[in-house]
Amino acid sequence: MKNILVTGGLGFIGSHTCVELINSNFNPIIIDNLDNSEIWIKERIERIAGQTVTFYQGDCRDKGLLDQIFTDNQISGIIHFAAYKAVGESVDEPLKYYDNNLGGLTAILEVSQKHGCSNLVFSSSCTVYGTPDSLPVNETAQIKDAESPYGTTKIICEKIIQDLVKSVPSYKSILLRYFNPIGAHESSLIGELPLGLPSNLVPFITQTAVGIRESLTVFGNNYDTKDGSCVRDFIHVTDLANAHIKALEFLLDKNEGTCEAVNIGTGNGNTVLELISTFEKVSGQRLNYSIGERREGDVEAVYADAKKSQDLLEWQAKISLEQSLRDAWNWQKTLEK
Protein backbone atom coordinates (compact mmCIF):
# COMPACT_ATOMS: atom_id res chain seq x y z
CA MET A 1 0.00 0.00 0.00
CA LYS A 2 1.51 3.34 -1.04
CA ASN A 3 1.91 6.07 1.58
CA ILE A 4 0.58 9.47 0.56
CA LEU A 5 1.47 12.57 2.57
CA VAL A 6 -1.67 14.68 2.99
CA THR A 7 -0.93 18.16 4.32
CA GLY A 8 -3.97 19.75 5.93
CA GLY A 9 -5.51 16.29 6.02
CA LEU A 10 -7.94 17.13 8.83
CA GLY A 11 -9.49 20.05 6.95
CA PHE A 12 -12.71 20.03 4.97
CA ILE A 13 -11.38 18.77 1.63
CA GLY A 14 -8.39 17.00 3.21
CA SER A 15 -10.49 14.80 5.50
CA HIS A 16 -12.76 13.66 2.66
CA THR A 17 -9.71 12.97 0.52
CA CYS A 18 -8.16 10.80 3.26
CA VAL A 19 -11.33 8.68 3.30
CA GLU A 20 -11.26 8.26 -0.48
CA LEU A 21 -7.52 7.49 -0.41
CA ILE A 22 -8.15 4.61 1.97
CA ASN A 23 -11.09 3.45 -0.17
CA SER A 24 -8.66 3.36 -3.08
CA ASN A 25 -6.00 1.38 -1.18
CA PHE A 26 -3.64 4.22 -0.39
CA ASN A 27 -2.35 4.92 3.09
CA PRO A 28 -2.71 8.61 4.04
CA ILE A 29 -0.06 10.11 6.32
CA ILE A 30 -1.51 13.34 7.68
CA ILE A 31 0.30 16.49 8.73
CA ASP A 32 -1.94 19.22 10.11
CA ASN A 33 -1.26 22.06 12.55
CA LEU A 34 -4.92 22.13 13.75
CA ASP A 35 -5.08 25.84 12.96
CA ASN A 36 -8.40 25.49 11.17
CA SER A 37 -9.32 21.89 11.96
CA GLU A 38 -10.16 19.67 14.92
CA ILE A 39 -8.31 16.61 16.19
CA TRP A 40 -11.55 14.59 16.51
CA ILE A 41 -11.84 14.62 12.72
CA LYS A 42 -9.00 12.07 12.73
CA GLU A 43 -11.13 9.59 14.70
CA ARG A 44 -14.04 10.26 12.35
CA ILE A 45 -11.90 9.46 9.31
CA GLU A 46 -10.80 6.25 11.06
CA ARG A 47 -14.40 5.34 11.87
CA ILE A 48 -15.54 5.76 8.27
CA ALA A 49 -12.52 4.01 6.80
CA GLY A 50 -12.26 1.24 9.42
CA GLN A 51 -8.53 1.68 10.01
CA THR A 52 -6.17 3.95 11.89
CA VAL A 53 -4.28 6.74 10.17
CA THR A 54 -0.84 8.14 10.90
CA PHE A 55 -0.98 11.72 12.11
CA TYR A 56 1.70 14.34 12.75
CA GLN A 57 0.67 17.58 14.40
CA GLY A 58 2.75 20.35 12.96
CA ASP A 59 3.29 23.03 10.42
CA CYS A 60 4.28 22.50 6.82
CA ARG A 61 6.90 25.22 7.09
CA ASP A 62 8.72 23.06 9.64
CA LYS A 63 11.32 21.42 7.39
CA GLY A 64 12.72 19.41 10.30
CA LEU A 65 9.36 17.79 10.89
CA LEU A 66 8.84 17.18 7.17
CA ASP A 67 12.26 15.58 7.00
CA GLN A 68 11.32 13.33 9.92
CA ILE A 69 8.07 12.30 8.20
CA PHE A 70 9.86 11.42 4.98
CA THR A 71 12.48 9.49 6.96
CA ASP A 72 9.87 7.60 9.01
CA ASN A 73 7.70 6.73 6.04
CA GLN A 74 8.36 5.81 2.44
CA ILE A 75 6.22 8.51 0.78
CA SER A 76 5.10 7.92 -2.81
CA GLY A 77 3.14 11.12 -3.36
CA ILE A 78 1.94 14.31 -1.74
CA ILE A 79 -1.42 16.05 -1.72
CA HIS A 80 -0.84 19.56 -0.46
CA PHE A 81 -3.95 21.20 1.04
CA ALA A 82 -2.49 23.03 4.02
CA ALA A 83 -3.02 26.75 3.47
CA TYR A 84 -5.02 29.70 4.70
CA LYS A 85 -8.11 30.40 2.62
CA ALA A 86 -10.14 33.28 4.04
CA VAL A 87 -10.31 35.92 1.35
CA GLY A 88 -11.24 38.83 3.64
CA GLU A 89 -8.62 37.98 6.26
CA SER A 90 -5.96 37.82 3.56
CA VAL A 91 -6.64 41.46 2.69
CA ASP A 92 -6.13 42.48 6.33
CA GLU A 93 -3.15 40.19 7.00
CA PRO A 94 -1.36 39.64 3.68
CA LEU A 95 1.99 38.62 5.19
CA LYS A 96 0.37 35.83 7.16
CA TYR A 97 -0.97 34.47 3.86
CA TYR A 98 2.25 34.84 1.87
CA ASP A 99 4.32 33.34 4.68
CA ASN A 100 2.12 30.31 5.25
CA ASN A 101 0.88 29.53 1.76
CA LEU A 102 4.15 30.10 -0.09
CA GLY A 103 6.44 28.95 2.74
CA GLY A 104 4.49 25.72 3.24
CA LEU A 105 4.74 24.87 -0.44
CA THR A 106 8.44 25.64 -0.85
CA ALA A 107 9.27 23.59 2.27
CA ILE A 108 7.28 20.62 0.92
CA LEU A 109 8.97 20.88 -2.47
CA GLU A 110 12.45 21.12 -1.01
CA VAL A 111 12.10 18.24 1.45
CA SER A 112 10.21 15.94 -0.93
CA GLN A 113 12.89 16.50 -3.56
CA LYS A 114 15.62 15.66 -1.09
CA HIS A 115 13.86 12.35 -0.39
CA GLY A 116 13.32 11.56 -4.06
CA CYS A 117 9.54 11.96 -4.00
CA SER A 118 8.37 13.77 -7.11
CA ASN A 119 4.57 13.41 -7.26
CA LEU A 120 2.56 16.40 -6.07
CA VAL A 121 -1.15 17.18 -6.28
CA PHE A 122 -1.69 20.83 -5.44
CA SER A 123 -4.88 22.54 -4.24
CA SER A 124 -5.49 25.50 -6.48
CA SER A 125 -8.65 27.45 -7.17
CA CYS A 126 -10.75 28.86 -9.98
CA THR A 127 -9.95 32.17 -8.31
CA VAL A 128 -6.87 32.23 -10.62
CA TYR A 129 -9.21 33.08 -13.53
CA GLY A 130 -10.66 36.18 -11.84
CA THR A 131 -13.57 37.27 -14.06
CA PRO A 132 -13.16 34.97 -17.06
CA ASP A 133 -13.46 36.38 -20.57
CA SER A 134 -15.69 33.50 -21.64
CA LEU A 135 -17.71 30.73 -20.00
CA PRO A 136 -17.40 27.88 -19.30
CA VAL A 137 -13.80 28.68 -18.41
CA ASN A 138 -11.09 26.26 -19.55
CA GLU A 139 -7.52 25.83 -18.38
CA THR A 140 -6.02 27.88 -21.21
CA ALA A 141 -7.85 31.01 -20.02
CA GLN A 142 -5.70 33.92 -19.02
CA ILE A 143 -4.61 34.05 -15.37
CA LYS A 144 -5.82 37.40 -14.04
CA ASP A 145 -4.51 39.57 -11.24
CA ALA A 146 -6.17 38.25 -8.11
CA GLU A 147 -8.63 40.32 -6.08
CA SER A 148 -6.97 39.31 -2.81
CA PRO A 149 -3.65 38.18 -1.36
CA TYR A 150 -5.24 34.74 -0.90
CA GLY A 151 -5.88 34.55 -4.66
CA THR A 152 -2.37 35.82 -5.37
CA THR A 153 -0.88 33.01 -3.26
CA LYS A 154 -2.67 30.44 -5.46
CA ILE A 155 -1.31 32.06 -8.63
CA ILE A 156 2.23 32.26 -7.23
CA CYS A 157 2.12 28.68 -5.90
CA GLU A 158 1.13 27.43 -9.36
CA LYS A 159 4.03 29.40 -10.81
CA ILE A 160 6.50 28.03 -8.23
CA ILE A 161 5.54 24.48 -9.13
CA GLN A 162 5.72 25.18 -12.87
CA ASP A 163 9.19 26.66 -12.44
CA LEU A 164 10.35 23.67 -10.41
CA VAL A 165 9.12 21.26 -13.09
CA LYS A 166 11.10 23.27 -15.66
CA SER A 167 14.26 22.98 -13.63
CA VAL A 168 13.76 19.37 -12.49
CA PRO A 169 12.39 17.64 -15.58
CA SER A 170 11.41 14.48 -13.68
CA TYR A 171 9.13 16.34 -11.24
CA LYS A 172 5.42 15.63 -11.70
CA SER A 173 2.52 17.74 -10.55
CA ILE A 174 -1.17 18.30 -11.12
CA LEU A 175 -2.63 21.66 -10.13
CA LEU A 176 -6.29 21.13 -9.33
CA ARG A 177 -8.34 24.29 -9.78
CA TYR A 178 -11.35 23.76 -7.57
CA PHE A 179 -14.64 25.46 -8.17
CA ASN A 180 -17.03 25.75 -5.16
CA PRO A 181 -16.83 22.69 -2.88
CA ILE A 182 -19.96 22.00 -0.81
CA GLY A 183 -21.68 19.08 0.91
CA ALA A 184 -20.30 16.58 3.39
CA HIS A 185 -19.58 12.87 3.64
CA GLU A 186 -22.74 10.76 3.24
CA SER A 187 -22.19 9.33 6.74
CA SER A 188 -22.47 12.86 8.24
CA LEU A 189 -19.34 12.05 10.28
CA ILE A 190 -17.15 14.66 8.57
CA GLY A 191 -17.92 17.95 6.86
CA GLU A 192 -17.10 21.64 6.82
CA LEU A 193 -16.30 23.33 10.16
CA PRO A 194 -16.26 27.08 9.57
CA LEU A 195 -14.50 29.14 12.23
CA GLY A 196 -16.82 31.92 13.41
CA LEU A 197 -19.01 33.68 10.89
CA PRO A 198 -18.92 31.66 7.67
CA SER A 199 -17.97 33.62 4.57
CA ASN A 200 -18.92 30.81 2.19
CA LEU A 201 -22.50 30.48 1.06
CA VAL A 202 -23.53 26.94 1.97
CA PRO A 203 -22.38 26.93 5.62
CA PHE A 204 -24.14 30.26 5.99
CA ILE A 205 -27.32 28.75 4.57
CA THR A 206 -27.24 25.68 6.81
CA GLN A 207 -26.36 27.72 9.93
CA THR A 208 -29.29 30.03 9.17
CA ALA A 209 -31.65 27.12 8.65
CA VAL A 210 -30.64 25.56 11.97
CA GLY A 211 -31.06 28.88 13.78
CA ILE A 212 -27.44 29.86 14.50
CA ARG A 213 -27.76 32.85 12.16
CA GLU A 214 -30.88 34.94 11.91
CA SER A 215 -30.85 35.60 8.22
CA LEU A 216 -28.78 35.13 5.07
CA THR A 217 -27.95 38.09 2.90
CA VAL A 218 -27.81 37.41 -0.82
CA PHE A 219 -25.01 39.62 -2.08
CA GLY A 220 -26.65 41.33 -5.05
CA ASN A 221 -29.54 40.50 -7.39
CA ASN A 222 -28.69 42.92 -10.17
CA TYR A 223 -25.97 40.94 -11.95
CA ASP A 224 -26.34 40.07 -15.60
CA THR A 225 -27.45 36.47 -14.90
CA LYS A 226 -30.78 34.71 -15.28
CA ASP A 227 -32.15 35.82 -11.89
CA GLY A 228 -29.66 38.58 -11.08
CA SER A 229 -27.67 36.63 -8.46
CA CYS A 230 -24.13 35.31 -9.02
CA VAL A 231 -23.46 32.02 -10.78
CA ARG A 232 -21.09 29.38 -9.36
CA ASP A 233 -20.14 25.77 -10.05
CA PHE A 234 -20.99 23.94 -6.82
CA ILE A 235 -19.27 20.56 -6.49
CA HIS A 236 -19.74 17.86 -3.85
CA VAL A 237 -16.64 17.48 -1.68
CA THR A 238 -16.61 13.68 -2.18
CA ASP A 239 -16.48 14.16 -5.96
CA LEU A 240 -13.71 16.67 -5.41
CA ALA A 241 -11.87 14.25 -3.11
CA ASN A 242 -12.03 11.57 -5.78
CA ALA A 243 -10.47 13.92 -8.31
CA HIS A 244 -7.36 13.87 -6.10
CA ILE A 245 -7.15 10.08 -6.31
CA LYS A 246 -7.39 10.24 -10.10
CA ALA A 247 -4.73 12.96 -10.22
CA LEU A 248 -2.44 10.94 -7.97
CA GLU A 249 -2.89 7.77 -10.03
CA PHE A 250 -2.15 9.78 -13.16
CA LEU A 251 1.13 11.00 -11.65
CA LEU A 252 2.15 7.60 -10.29
CA ASP A 253 1.59 6.01 -13.71
CA LYS A 254 3.58 8.62 -15.56
CA ASN A 255 7.24 8.04 -16.33
CA GLU A 256 8.26 11.56 -17.19
CA GLY A 257 7.94 15.02 -15.68
CA THR A 258 4.69 16.89 -16.11
CA CYS A 259 2.77 19.86 -14.81
CA GLU A 260 -0.89 20.21 -15.74
CA ALA A 261 -3.56 22.52 -14.39
CA VAL A 262 -6.99 20.87 -14.35
CA ASN A 263 -10.40 22.36 -13.52
CA ILE A 264 -12.38 20.40 -10.97
CA GLY A 265 -16.00 21.40 -11.29
CA THR A 266 -19.28 19.94 -12.48
CA GLY A 267 -19.44 22.03 -15.63
CA ASN A 268 -22.82 23.47 -14.52
CA GLY A 269 -23.48 26.92 -13.22
CA ASN A 270 -26.18 27.61 -10.64
CA THR A 271 -27.23 30.94 -9.23
CA VAL A 272 -27.20 31.76 -5.54
CA LEU A 273 -31.02 32.00 -5.62
CA GLU A 274 -31.30 28.60 -7.30
CA LEU A 275 -29.10 27.16 -4.60
CA ILE A 276 -31.36 28.60 -1.92
CA SER A 277 -34.52 27.22 -3.52
CA THR A 278 -32.91 23.80 -3.98
CA PHE A 279 -31.86 23.85 -0.34
CA GLU A 280 -35.43 24.70 0.71
CA LYS A 281 -36.74 21.82 -1.37
CA VAL A 282 -34.38 19.14 -0.05
CA SER A 283 -34.41 20.27 3.58
CA GLY A 284 -38.09 21.11 3.84
CA GLN A 285 -37.00 24.31 5.63
CA ARG A 286 -37.95 27.84 4.64
CA LEU A 287 -34.82 29.93 4.61
CA ASN A 288 -34.87 33.40 6.07
CA TYR A 289 -32.98 35.57 3.60
CA SER A 290 -32.94 39.03 2.11
CA ILE A 291 -31.25 40.71 -0.81
CA GLY A 292 -28.32 42.95 0.05
CA GLU A 293 -25.56 44.89 -1.62
CA ARG A 294 -23.01 43.24 -3.87
CA ARG A 295 -19.95 41.90 -2.03
CA GLU A 296 -16.73 43.58 -3.05
CA GLY A 297 -14.51 41.39 -5.21
CA ASP A 298 -17.25 38.94 -6.21
CA VAL A 299 -17.15 37.53 -9.73
CA GLU A 300 -20.50 37.68 -11.54
CA ALA A 301 -20.37 34.17 -12.97
CA VAL A 302 -17.85 31.36 -13.11
CA TYR A 303 -18.25 27.68 -13.95
CA ALA A 304 -15.91 25.05 -15.29
CA ASP A 305 -15.24 23.61 -18.66
CA ALA A 306 -14.88 20.08 -17.30
CA LYS A 307 -13.52 18.44 -20.45
CA LYS A 308 -9.84 18.28 -19.49
CA SER A 309 -10.57 16.50 -16.21
CA GLN A 310 -12.44 13.84 -18.18
CA ASP A 311 -9.83 13.48 -20.91
CA LEU A 312 -6.70 13.59 -18.77
CA LEU A 313 -7.81 12.16 -15.43
CA GLU A 314 -10.92 10.18 -16.45
CA TRP A 315 -12.78 11.95 -13.71
CA GLN A 316 -16.12 13.69 -13.67
CA ALA A 317 -18.51 14.87 -10.98
CA LYS A 318 -21.33 12.45 -10.22
CA ILE A 319 -23.24 13.78 -7.24
CA SER A 320 -26.23 16.10 -7.85
CA LEU A 321 -26.74 19.54 -6.38
CA GLU A 322 -29.76 18.16 -4.47
CA GLN A 323 -27.68 15.43 -2.85
CA SER A 324 -24.86 17.88 -2.08
CA LEU A 325 -27.24 20.18 -0.22
CA ARG A 326 -28.95 17.28 1.54
CA ASP A 327 -25.53 16.09 2.79
CA ALA A 328 -24.59 19.62 3.89
CA TRP A 329 -27.87 19.86 5.80
CA ASN A 330 -27.55 16.44 7.44
CA TRP A 331 -24.03 17.36 8.57
CA GLN A 332 -25.17 20.70 9.99
CA LYS A 333 -27.86 18.93 12.00
CA THR A 334 -25.23 16.73 13.69
CA LEU A 335 -23.31 19.79 14.95
CA GLU A 336 -24.16 21.43 18.23
CA LYS A 337 -25.85 24.78 17.89
Positions marked catalytic:
150
Neighbours of 226 (CB within 10 A): 12
Taking only Cα atoms into account, the Rg of the chain, rounded to an integer number of angstroms, comes to: 19
Q: Are 150 and 97 in contact (CB under 8 A)?
A: yes
Taking each helix axis from N to C end, the angle separating 103-114 and 63-72, rounded to the nearest 10 degrees, works out to 40
Q: Residue 236 to residues 104, 179, 182, 249, 272: CA-CA distances in angstroms?
A: 26, 10, 5, 21, 16
Q: How far is the CB of 180 from ligand UD1 (least distance, A)?
A: 5
Under DSSP, the state recorded for 304 is B
Tell me if 11 contacts ligand UD1 by CB under 6 A.
no
> How many Å is the maximal CA-CA distance in the chain?
56
CA 63 to CA 116: how far, in whole Å?
15
Burial (Cβ within 10 Å: 0-12, 13-18, ≥19) of residue 52: exposed
The residue from 141, 184, 230, 248 that contacts ligand UD1 (CB under 6 A) is 230
Q: Are 273 and 314 in contact (CB under 8 A)?
A: no
Picking from 55, 47, 52, the residue whose alpha carbon sits closest to that of residue 30 is: 55
Total of chain residues touching ligand UD1, rule CB under 6 A: 19
Residue with nearest beta carbon to ligand UD1: 230
Under DSSP, the state recorded for 125 is E
Binding mask 59-98 for ligand UD1 (x = CB under 6 A): ----------------------------x-----------
Tell me if 101 contacts ligand UD1 by CB under 6 A.
no
Tell me if 200 contacts ligand UD1 by CB under 6 A.
yes
Q: How far is the CB of 271 from ligand UD1 (least distance, A)?
A: 8
Tell me if 216 contacts ligand UD1 by CB under 6 A.
yes
Restricted to residues 138-177, the positions that interact with ligand UD1 (CB under 6 A) are 151
Going by their DSSP bridges, the two strands 119-125 and 234-236 should be labelled as unpaired
Which residue stretch of 24-32, 198-206, 245-253, 313-321 sits at the interface with ligand UD1 (rule: CB under 6 A)?
198-206
Q: How far is the CB of 124 from ligand UD1 (least distance, A)?
A: 9
Restricted to residues 280-309, the positions that interact with ligand UD1 (CB under 6 A) are 295, 297-298
Tell me if 213 contacts ligand UD1 by CB under 6 A.
no
Which residue stretch of 46-54, 65-73, 155-163, 197-205 sits at the interface with ligand UD1 (rule: CB under 6 A)?
197-205
Which residues of this chain interact with ligand UD1, rule CB under 6 A? 87, 125, 127, 151, 180, 199-201, 204, 216-219, 230, 232, 272, 295, 297-298
